[in-house]
């Protein structure tokens, strides 16, 4: 731990204002960034923790078009929701700005102009994808196609989210317009490019060679792989009407590429904060002793490790990031989180459904943080971690300490007698924790750090369970004073060390232990400072009055979890229903065509799954005419034993054909319900929607 105050600029990825915040964003970026910022402040550092809404993305204009409103309406709505939910969740930004703010438009324009004036861009007329029907160029998310690197068929014009590769729209194979679905044509247009290739060697020295050991291996590895592929010039302007106008001659009708403007948002946000706080913003971005740290998710690595640093370097006035601790992704109940598919736990909904339980979600997301690999959030794990860890360990220890101190001593910290060996060991362990937890936080290992915090709670729990003051009080009242004194010191250590992780519980515990009163008695000594736990003789001196016990955490019931699981089930069905796109009506069939088909009712009399196939079932059907074999692709939807005896509709005169060596004489008519399950034709069954076809 360093005791010299240090200046830090901490940025958290700017959220897109095309949807609210969900647990994936929190686990990947905002919770770890907040733990880090809170910890650094407690160490007496000078911290600017900034963020803001990213409001210029193409998804925003697409959403506005779909909903028939203006892009400004969309960003105003989500900026409001996001801002409020961050505040209620206790993310301790020093400033939260937005990229539609004037300060940002001015800052980004000036940044571009300086680079333009210094000749840092290449100007080029190239052919870009153009949607004739929509009458507009297709950049970034306006175009979807196959990724040339990994084959993902839903890659965007600026990036493949599957492999993380940064792309130009013209790189896509089989591009399609996201507006009309049409195949675009090529049309000439003039743009400014950032020649990333000219910075290849510099990046290689700075990151690949220079940060091989202190940057996370997932980040370092990705950068290395892009550099191996070779960097190419990248357009930083677009033919769009939503964004920051290109502020130079020839830029009419064009805007800055959103990934050029967005990271400059960190600088604008710092400016906005400094102005309000009467500070100078420049040292936070220009003093080489300032440590700049970007917290992001893995999909943003290319922008924060290649494009933004090249911009900062090319501009020339700015410092470079000290570290970019990007996280992997969090999944929900085994499936990828998705804003568009509503597969998420939304922060603003959580805050309503679990009032005053911000710390539980913070705790679970940190305990399960996708620091080195993708991880899964499940409601079962959420409940277990709350009930078995926060309630049963941390909460139980604190409750015992508070209740017993009030019961035996009317809430006055007792004067200890001589320490036993166990007492001395326990106090020594307590004093070691600040350094242990700090060391993990400083390495961006937040789940390890929080694990150590819980180990301190375990230490307290075990100490009380071993010493059993509630039994001793009958035989050795003097010994109980010492035991309770030691336990109170641990409770006090927990109150301070939990602040970065569990800020709401920490504050509540500090109030219960009446910290403010200790602080005034110790005149001049900062009480809640991290290091003092290791150095001060007593954290909670004898004679100090604490307050009444209150519960820090409460049990989460099965019924609450079931509600959440039901909500996810409903989302699943809704998605299945909307993905069942209706097939267009086929060509006209004449009455003669119809009478050619011999459709009859039959009864299934035998069935077995065809060996070595996934889908095929061999079914014997009594059609009245005869008993015949039909091979049907329903094995993933029905078990053989459950269909025997069922009446089904059969197309009896379909030309026989061999499937995997078995001759199939006819077809059983099937349809699909809204959950995507193939079912025998029965229009009255739940989930069979109008328009569903029979096959
Ligand atoms: Zn890809």
195 in the same domain as 146:
yes
Residue 299 or 321, more confident: 321
Residue 362 lies in a domain: no
Residue 101 lies in a domain: yes
Residue 540 lies in a domain: no
Residue 367 lies in a domain: no
481 in the same domain as 429:
yes
Q: Is 174 exposed, middle or buried (0-12, 13-18, 19+ CB in 10 A)?
A: exposed
423 in the same domain as 341:
no
CA of 65 to the centre of ligand 1 (A): 27
Residue 565 lies in a domain: no
CA of 684 to the centre of ligand 1 (A): 43
Q: Rounded distance, CA 24 to CA 27, Å?
A: 5
Please state which of the ranges 159-168, 302-311, 395-404, 545-554 shows the lowest mean pLDDT: 159-168
Q: How many CB atoms lie within 10 A of CB 160?
A: 23
Domain end (from 518, 535, 552): 535
531 in the same domain as 402:
yes
CA of 177 to the centre of ligand 1 (A): 18
228 in the same domain as 155:
yes
Q: Rounded distance, CA 413 to CA 136, Å?
A: 73
CA of 172 to the centre of ligand 1 (A): 10
Residue 558 lies in a domain: no
Residue 2, pLDDT score: 45
Residue 152 lies in a domain: yes
Domain end (from 513, 535, 557): 535
Question: Binning pLDDT at 50, 70 and 90, where does residue 521 land?
Answer: low
Residue 1 above 50 pLDDT?
A: no
CA of 340 to the centre of ligand 1 (A): 20
* Phi, psi (degrees; rounded to nearest 5) at 311: -60, -45
583-607, pLDDT tens digit by residue? 667 777 888 888 888 999 999 999 9
CATH of the domain at 159: 2.170.220.10
- DSSP conformational letter for 555: P
CA of 12 to the centre of ligand 1 (A): 25
- Here the contacts of 473-481 (C-beta below 8 Å, separation 24 or greater) are 473/408, 478/417, 479/417, 480/408, 480/414, 481/414, 481/415, 481/416, 481/417
CA of 231 to the centre of ligand 1 (A): 16
Q: Rounded distance, CA 98 to CA 72, Å?
A: 12
476 in the same domain as 607:
no
487 in the same domain as 618:
no
108 in the same domain as 47:
yes
CA of 327 to the centre of ligand 1 (A): 19
CATH of the domain at 641: 2.40.50.140
Mean pLDDT computed over 529-558: 91
CA of 170 to the centre of ligand 1 (A): 14
398 in the same domain as 496:
yes
Residue 522, pLDDT score: 55
| Whole-prediction pTM | 0.82
Dihedral angle computed from the Cα positions of residues 169, 174, 179 and 182, in that order, rounded to the nearest 10 degrees: 130
Tokens 């202190």, located at residue: 214
CATH of the domain at 322: 3.40.50.620
CATH of the domain at 528: 1.10.730.10
Strand ordering across the sheet containing 335-336: 335-336, 330-332, 375-377
CA of 54 to the centre of ligand 1 (A): 24
CA of 572 to the centre of ligand 1 (A): 26
480 in the same domain as 444:
yes
CA of 394 to the centre of ligand 1 (A): 44
Q: Rounded distance, CA 344 to CA 568, Å?
A: 8
CA of 299 to the centre of ligand 1 (A): 12
Mean pLDDT computed over 210-219: 95
User: E strand or H helix at 364, and its extent?
Assistant: helix 358-367
Q: How far is CA 506 from CA 26, 64, 216, 291, 459, in A?
A: 20, 42, 30, 27, 18
CA of 152 to the centre of ligand 1 (A): 5
CA of 300 to the centre of ligand 1 (A): 14
CA of 232 to the centre of ligand 1 (A): 17
Q: How many domains does the chain have?
A: 4
Q: Which domain holds residue 180?
A: 120-238
Residue 143 lies in a domain: yes
403-428, pLDDT tens digit by residue? 999 999 999 999 999 999 999 999 99
Most confident of 12-21, 58-67, 659-668, 685-694: 12-21
CA of 200 to the centre of ligand 1 (A): 21
425-442, pLDDT tens digit by residue? 999 999 999 999 999 999
Contact 490, 467 (CB under 8 A): no
Residue 533 or 320, more confident: 320
CA of 160 to the centre of ligand 1 (A): 5
3-state secondary structure of 76: helix
CA of 157 to the centre of ligand 1 (A): 11
515 in the same domain as 403:
yes
527 in the same domain as 400:
yes
302-345, pLDDT tens digit by residue? 999 999 999 999 999 999 999 999 999 999 999 999 888 899 99
């Amino acid at each position: 731990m360093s005791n010299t105050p240090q200046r830090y600029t901490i940025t958290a990825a700017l959220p897109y204002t095309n949807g609210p915040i969900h647990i994936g964003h929190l686990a990947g970026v905002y919770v770890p960034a907040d733990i880090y910022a809170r910890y650094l402040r407690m160490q007496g550092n000078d911290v600017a923790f900034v963020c803001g809404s990213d409001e210029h993305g193409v998804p925003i204009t697409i959403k506005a078009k779909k909903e028939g409103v203006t892009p400004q309406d969309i960003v105003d709505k989500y900026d409001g929701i996001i801002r409020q939910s961050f505040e209620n969740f206790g993310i301790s930004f020093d400033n939260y700005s937005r990229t539609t703010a004037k300060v940002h438009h001015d800052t980004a324009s000036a940044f571009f102009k300086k680079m333009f004036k210094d000749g840092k861009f290449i100007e080029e007329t190239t052919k870009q994808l153009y949607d004739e029907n929509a009458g507009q160029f297709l950049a970034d998310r306006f175009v979807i196609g196959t990724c040339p690197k990994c084959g993902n068929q839903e890659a965007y014009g600026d990036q493949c989210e599957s492999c993380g590769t940064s792309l130009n729209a013209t790189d896509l194979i089989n591009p399609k317009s996201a507006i009309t679905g049409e195949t675009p044509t090529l049309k000439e247009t003039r743009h400014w490019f950032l020649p990333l290739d000219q910075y290849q060697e510099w990046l290689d020295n700075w990151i690949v060679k220079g940060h091989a050991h202190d940057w996370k291996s997932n980040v370092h590895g990705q950068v290395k792989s892009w550099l191996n592929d070779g960097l190419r010039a990248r357009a930083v302007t677009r033919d769009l009407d939503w964004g920051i106008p290109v502020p130079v001659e020839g830029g009419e009708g064009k805007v800055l590429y959103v990934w050029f403007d967005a990271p400059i948002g960190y600088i604008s946000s710092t400016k906005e904060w400094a102005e309000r706080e009467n500070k100078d913003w420049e040292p936070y971005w220009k003093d080489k002793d300032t440590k700049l740290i970007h917290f992001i998710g893995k999909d943003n690595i290319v922008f924060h490790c290649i494009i933004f640093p090249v911009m900062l370097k090319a501009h020339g006035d700015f410092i470079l990031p000290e570290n970019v601790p990007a996280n992997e992704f969090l999944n929900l109940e085994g499936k990828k989180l998705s804003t568009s598919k509503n597969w998420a736990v939304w922060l603003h909904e959580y805050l309503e459904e679990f009032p005053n339980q911000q710390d539980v979600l913070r705790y679970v997301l940190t305990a399960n943080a996708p620091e080195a690999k993708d991880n899964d959030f499940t409601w079962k794990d959420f409940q277990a971690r709350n009930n078995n860890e926060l309630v049963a360990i941390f909460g139980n220890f604190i409750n015992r300490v508070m209740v017993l101190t009030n019961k035996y001593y009317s809430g006055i910290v007792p004067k200890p007698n001589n320490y036993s060996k166990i007492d001395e060991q326990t106090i020594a362990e307590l004093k070691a924790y600040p350094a242990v937890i700090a060391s993990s936080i400083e390495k961006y290992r937040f789940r390890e750090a929080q694990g150590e915090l819980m180990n301190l709670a375990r230490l307290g729990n075990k100490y009380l369970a071993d010493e059993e003051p509630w039994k001793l009080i009958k035989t050795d009242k003097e010994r109980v004073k010492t035991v309770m004194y030691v336990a109170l010191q641990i409770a006090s250590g927990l109150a301070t060390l939990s602040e970065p992780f569990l800020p709401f519980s920490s504050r509540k515990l500090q109030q219960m232990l009446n910290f403010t009163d200790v602080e005034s008695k110790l005149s001049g000594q900062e009480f809640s400072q991290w290091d003092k736990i290791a150095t001060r003789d007593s954290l909670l001196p004898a004679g100090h009055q604490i307050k009444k016990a209150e519960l820090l955490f409460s049990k989460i019931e099965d019924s609450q979890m079931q509600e959440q699981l039901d909500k996810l089930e409903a989302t699943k069905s809704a998605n299945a229903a909307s993905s069942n796109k209706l097939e267009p009506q086929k060509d006209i069939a004449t009455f003669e065509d119809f009478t050619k088909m011999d459709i009859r009712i039959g009864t299934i009399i035998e069935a077995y799954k065809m060996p070595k196939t996934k889908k095929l079932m061999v079914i014997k059907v009594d059609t009245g005419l005869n008993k015949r074999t039909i091979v049907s692709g329903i094995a993933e939807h029905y078990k053989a034993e459950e269909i025997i005896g069922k009446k089904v509709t059969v197309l009896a005169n379909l030309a026989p054909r061999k499937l995997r060596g078995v001759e199939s004489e006819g077809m059983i008519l099937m349809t699909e319900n809204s959950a995507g399950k193939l079912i025998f034709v029965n229009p009255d069954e739940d989930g069979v929607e109008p328009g569903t076809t029979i096959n």
